[in-house]
Amino acid sequence: MAAIAKFVRDLNRYVIVALAVLAAFSIRFVLGSVLGDTAAALVFIPAMLFSSLLGGVGPGLFATVLALPLTWFFLWRGVPFHHAAAYVILLALIGIGIAFMGQSLTRSLAEAKLAAKTLRRREAHLRSILDTSPDATVVISADGTIVTFNAAASRQFGYLESEAIGADVSMLMPEYSRVRYEGSVARYLEAGLSRADEMERIAAGRRKDGSTFPIRLTIGRMVVEGETFFTGFVHDLTEQQQAAERLEAAQSELMHLARVHELGEMASILAHELNQPLSAIINFVEGCQRLLVHVDGKVAARMRHALDESAQQAVRAAEIIRHMREFVVRGETERRPEDIRSVIKEASELALAGSRIRGIRPVFEFAPGVDIVLADRVQIQQVLVNLMRNASEAMRESRERRLLVRTLVQSDRRIAVEVCDTGPGIAPEIEARLFQPFVTSKPGGMGIGLLISKRIIEAHGGRIRAMNRLGPGKDNAGPCVHGARFVVWLRAEC
């Protein structure tokens, strides 16, 4: 089947050659009076050249063979025999030369066509590889002009290929990297390096919107016809960096959890161990009270009063330790209806002991309305004691030392307890992490007080929040117009 098709193609070529020679003959016949007898040979040369280009040696020689008798036909009557013979022989030689030249030219054209096709195929293949590569590939000339910009580069940097081609590669770099880049290329050219790994480094890229991102850049050098080009392979390290940050955060959180767990175990052990000395203190105090029963006088009365207070505080300390141990071990709270005013007053007596000596002026404001909350009295008092002591310590260096504790009734049947101070406020660097473990601004502080307070309030179904209040008129906190403000929300008894 293929042989028949080839025979048909060859036959068509020879038919076309015959028509071309016949066309030349017709032109010569029609223009004979104008061209003269000597132009008989020349008029067939274009037909022979066309035939050679059409099919090579065979069609070229066939056209020559057809042209020779037709040329003789025009010459034999008008010129001497030897002149006519010379013209015919010369035409034969020209035809043979044109046939072989046409063959060579046809072969060269076919090879060029095949080479162009192969080149287009390789270019398409290379382009497909570049466009499917997950890494950006950028080829630049020695002066920094971008000549190739693949699809991954468009995704990473945000530029279209049409925008990048012909532009300077410095547009893909932050300002601080451009001087380093120019120096690196200069040294690279001077040293004549050729290995890609000799210019591999971690750098930064700049997107079209101006944002920067970390990259790993590998640069290779190539020389084409004496001109130097650089190919840059750009790997986006954003995900890798984010993964490293997440891993670091997870490790840090695990360390925090481990320390919190150890702290819970230590608190449980301390609670167990402290119960014994507290019980002994209570027993000694009660013994002293019995000995003073039969002693009269003002001094004895004052001693009995002091011992009564000591016994009460020792019992209270034992109760606090018991509640805290139960909360740390089991996370349980014994909630019952409590008067929030009474809870605040008792907590302030513990937290503000000696505050007047330090120049701290406490202010209490209790909103009328619902005063009963569902709470574990001891645990909530511990939270309030912690907040009031923190406020007192924060105002050590303040000229104005005013502490406000007030209650507000919320619309959702919750009672808010606010503790405000006139200290320097919460430092910005720890404000977002204030309730995380081991975060503190106090010298020698452990950073666990607010963490435990937060867990106690959340175990009560409430919330705790910290904020800064700076400048007059910025809030409705009454006399507390600057410093820190802590708010605790508790459920009111319906």
Do 123 and 138 lie in a common domain?
no
Do 175 and 103 lie in a common domain?
no
Do 223 and 247 lie in a common domain?
no
Residues constituting the chain? 494
Asked whether residue 323 is assigned to any structural domain, the reply reads no
How far apart (Å, rounded) are the C-alpha atoms in residues 153 and 150? Answer: 5
Asked whether residue 413 is assigned to any structural domain, the reply reads yes
Count of helices and strands (H, E) across the chain: 14, 12
Instruction: Count other C-beta atoms under 10 Å from residue 70's C-beta.
Output: 20
374, β-bridge pairs: 337
373 CA to centre of own chain: 47
Do 394 and 452 lie in a common domain?
yes
Among 29, 26, 63, smallest CA distance to 45 is for 63
How far apart (Å, rounded) are the C-alpha atoms in residues 88 and 75? Answer: 9
Among 145, 164, 168, 169, smallest CA distance to 154 is for 164
Asked whether residue 221 is assigned to any structural domain, the reply reads yes
Q: Which of 62, 97, 127 is the last residue of a domain?
A: 127
Do 385 and 302 lie in a common domain?
no
**In this predicted structure, what is the pLDDT of residue 180?**
57
Asked whether residue 376 is assigned to any structural domain, the reply reads yes
User: How many domains does the chain contain in total?
Assistant: 4
**Looking at residue 146, which CATH number applies to its domain?**
3.30.450.20
**In this predicted structure, what is the pLDDT of residue 266?**
64
**In this predicted structure, what is the pLDDT of residue 474?**
42
Asked whether residue 278 is assigned to any structural domain, the reply reads yes
How far apart (Å, rounded) are the C-alpha atoms in residues 188 and 220? Answer: 10
Asked whether residue 322 is assigned to any structural domain, the reply reads no
Side chain identity, residue 441? S
Radius of gyration for the alpha carbons in the chain, expressed in angstroms and rounded: 50
**In this predicted structure, what is the pLDDT of residue 66?**
76
Q: Which of 95, 127, 159 is the last residue of a domain?
A: 127
Q: Are 324 and 382 in contact (CB under 8 A)?
A: yes
Do 35 and 120 lie in a common domain?
yes
Asked whether residue 197 is assigned to any structural domain, the reply reads yes
Do 137 and 222 lie in a common domain?
yes
Q: Which two tokens stand for residue 208?
A: 């079209």
Asked whether residue 193 is assigned to any structural domain, the reply reads yes
**Looking at residue 301, which CATH number applies to its domain?**
1.10.287.130
**In this predicted structure, what is the pLDDT of residue 486?**
93
Q: Which residue stretches of the chain have pLDDT < 50?
A: 193-198, 473-481
Give residue 397's domain range.
334-491
